[in-house]
Amino acid sequence: MSDRHGTPPDDEFVIGASYPPPPPPSPFPTGGATRDEEWDGGEPDYDDQSEDDGEYAEFEDEPWFDDYEDSTPVRQPMFYVFVALAALVGGIVVFLLFSLVNGDDSPSGGDDGPAQLQVQVDSPSRDRRINIGATEDVIVQATASESITRLELFAGDRSIDSIEITETPPDNKYSAVLKLVLNQKGTYEIFVRATTTTGATKDSAKVRVIAVEPVGEKPQTIKGRVVADTTLRSGPGEEFADVGALKAGEEVTILGKSRSLEWLLVEAGGQAGRWARRTAIDPLDTLDLVPTRDVTPTPGPTATNTAVPSPSPSPSPSPSASPSPGANAPDFVPTNAVLVDGGKTLKVTVANNSSAAYNGPLVVAVGGGDVENQEQVVDAKLAASGGAVVVEFTVNPPITESGKKALVTVDPKDAVRELREDNNVTNFVLLPAAESPKIVIQTAEVKPDRISVTIKNTGGALSATSVTVRVTLGSQTISNSSTVALAKDQVAPAIEVARPPGTGAATVEVLIGGQVQASAEVQLNP
């Protein structure tokens, strides 16, 4: 048994003995000097002493006091610092390893890829019909901040054509022509893929085209809807005899087209062999399906020396999407677009189909197809019932191939209120440019009962064709036609037109194929 007043074992307590409360933890490290030894050393480790230092002074003489004090371990503050540093370093190492692994697996073409890679198909236009087996030029443009090495044409998921690019343009703007050949009927979505030196790729927007069987020699017909009241002629021109009329809303069968695409051969009311203006009919299918018809009839005698009667009112109003603007409104229609000057210039003719004249600014725009977008504002003086103005556009690069197209729009923003707003746009097929005839009015002599007009050709040869001279005074129009063939710099015999009654400034116009070639103004005195 333990001595009551001796030193008990560390793990044994005596029942009934009294023990003081344990002292507070020592601020000194274990295993070293005691508190007394620290104080006696002269230089204590701490400037501040615990407020409880005197609380257990009465127990300091007890034999167990020093052993009890030494048995209480004290953890060093640096231990926690080392633990925190180890955790921080471990986290940084894990983060760096994770980033390294992810960086190796990251896909190419990130920030190091091309900043700007754009590809677009300029031609063919959407829903263009292409003959099976025929070669269609696909014109593409591309830009990139790094060199493009390849352009590839696709129809669906099938590669059709490609080109390798070895030279980089100074401005990084690429243009190329790829060849498209479709061997089966159907609808296709084509696009062009550009590839750069780093392997980055970009696809253009998809363009829908339709592969059709070629017309060949077999005559084809399509349906068309009349969009504006129009006169039927015995041939493709205003100089041909009037053989009937069409009303807006009627349906016709289109049997053929003129080479200029300005006139359509139609069947209406069981009557075939009649020609109507292209701008008055909306084909319900492509005109590529109908054959070109050569003209055999000759102008009728009614086209000479006769005053054009005022149009009689229709028995019922023509359907229109908007309220009628009134009888004094003009009606602008693009009637022709031809290449001249070796394909460097596009001459666009705009006519006024209304019985009301128009004098004022007029916006004419070209674009789409194979001609770059352009717009001009002209001071138009359009006589009633066919008065026309010619607007010239620069073509760059020049068009020297056949089959190219140009979209012509008159008054694109509907700034001028017209009789009709649905006949202002026409898509023309352009023929290769040749030196065209250039007709000028050499003299216009006013006589008591007639006006004698002499014309001269200053351009290419004019084959035998019908030339119409038209004189307009106010609302009166009188014309006369004659067959003329002129070599370069040759003068034709005078064409005489009956003098309209009245006085004032009259307009003299020379027309070939319904298109105004030259005009002048004469004064009609009493």
Residues listed for the chain: 526
Q: Which amino acid is at 380?
A: A
Q: Is residue 87 assigned to a domain?
A: no
What is the separation of C-alpha 269 from the centre of its chain, rounded to a whole number of angstroms?
41
In the prediction, which pLDDT does 63 show? 58
Q: Distance between CA 472 and CA 497 in Å, rounded? A: 11
CB-based contact 339:369 (threshold 8 Å): no
Question: Residue 101 in 3-state DSSP?
Answer: helix
Q: Is residue 99 assigned to a domain?
A: no
Residues 168, 253: one domain? no
Give the helix/strand (H/E) hosting 298. Answer: none
Residues 336, 417: one domain? yes
**Total domains, the chain:** 5
Q: Distance between CA 115 and CA 202 in Å, rounded? A: 12
In the prediction, which pLDDT does 56 show? 54
Its domain, for residue 392, covers 332-430
**Residue 188 CB partners (closer than 8 Å, separation 6+):** 155, 156, 182, 208, 209, 210, 211
CB-based contact 10:71 (threshold 8 Å): yes
Give the helix/strand (H/E) hosting 97. Answer: helix 77-105
Report which of 435, 466, 58, 509 is spatially closest to residue 300, judged by C-alpha positions: 466
Which among 430, 462, 494 is the end of a domain?
Answer: 430
Which among 73, 106, 127 is the end of a domain?
Answer: 73
Residue 87: φ, ψ to 5°: -65, -40
Q: Is residue 318 assigned to a domain?
A: no
Question: Residue 153 in 3-state DSSP?
Answer: strand
Q: What are 14's two structure tokens?
A: 């005596």
Residue 68: φ, ψ to 5°: -65, -45
Listed in sequence order, the DSSP H helices in 385-473 are: none
Report which of 460, 220, 467 is spatially closest to residue 338, judged by C-alpha positions: 460
Q: What is the 3-state secondary structure (H, E, C) of 233-276?
A: ECCCCCCCCEEEEECCCCEEEEEEECCCCCEEEEEECCEEEEEE
Q: Is residue 312 assigned to a domain?
A: no
Give the helix/strand (H/E) hosting 198. Answer: none
Q: Is residue 246 assigned to a domain?
A: yes
Per DSSP, which regions of 279-403 are E strands?
281-283, 306-307, 332-340, 345-352, 358-367, 374-382, 388-394
Q: Is residue 91 assigned to a domain?
A: no
> How do the pLDDT tens digits run along the chain, 526 residues long?
444 445 555 555 555 555 555 555 554 444 444 444 444 444 444 444 444 455 555 555 655 555 555 554 555 667 777 778 888 887 787 777 766 655 444 434 444 444 578 899 988 888 787 888 888 999 999 988 888 999 999 999 999 999 998 888 877 888 889 999 998 888 899 999 999 988 889 999 999 998 876 654 455 788 888 877 888 888 888 878 888 888 888 899 998 888 777 888 898 877 777 888 888 888 887 777 777 776 544 444 433 333 334 344 434 333 333 344 555 788 898 988 888 878 888 888 898 888 888 988 899 999 877 888 899 988 888 888 878 888 999 988 888 887 788 889 999 888 888 888 778 888 888 877 667 788 999 999 999 999 999 999 998 888 788 899 999 998 889 999 988 888 888 999 999 999 998 999 999 999 987 788 999 999 999 8
Which among 16, 44, 73 is the end of a domain?
Answer: 73
Within 10 angstroms of residue 280's Cβ, the number of other Cβ atoms is 23
Q: What is the pTM of this model?
A: 0.30
Report which of 278, 273, 272, 274 is spatially closest to residue 224, judged by C-alpha positions: 278
CATH number at residue 476: 2.60.40.10
